[in-house]
Amino acid sequence: MKRREILEAAADLVEGARQEQYGAWSDNAANVATIWSILLNTQVTARQVALCMVGLKLARLRHGPDADSWIDLAGYSGLGGEIDE
C-alpha cells in the first residue's frame, strides 16, 4: 500500500465511516477518557487516549505487517494532532 493510500484511507475513516459510526472524535475521546479514568483510578485526558491508541497500534505492528494497523495509526496520529491544536 502506498503512503498516499494509507493517509487517504485514514482520512476517509476518521472523517467518514468512524465519525458516522461513533460520533465526533472530541466527544468519543472524552467519553473514553472518562471511562479509563474510572477504571484506572487516575485522571486520563483525551490526548492520552490518542497516545494510548497510537501505542496499541504500534504494539500490534510488532507482530508483522498489517495495512489496517498502519491506517489506524495514521488516523489516531491525526486525531491526536487535532487535540493539540
Question: Which burial class, exposed, middle or buried, applies to 74 when counting CB atoms under 10 A from its CB (0-12, 13-18, 19+)?
Answer: buried
Q: What is the pLDDT of residues 39-60, one digit of tens each?
A: 999 999 999 999 999 999 999 9
* Domain assignments of the chain as residue spans, ordered by start: 3-84
What does each of the 85 residues of the chain score in pLDDT, given as a tens digit? 899 999 999 999 889 888 888 899 999 999 999 999 999 999 999 999 999 999 999 999 999 999 999 999 999 999 999 999 8
Cell of 63: 507482530
50 in Cβ contact with 28 (< 8 Å): no
Q: C-alpha grid cell for residue 77?
A: 496520529
Reference 49, options 62, 63, 39; nearest CA is: 39
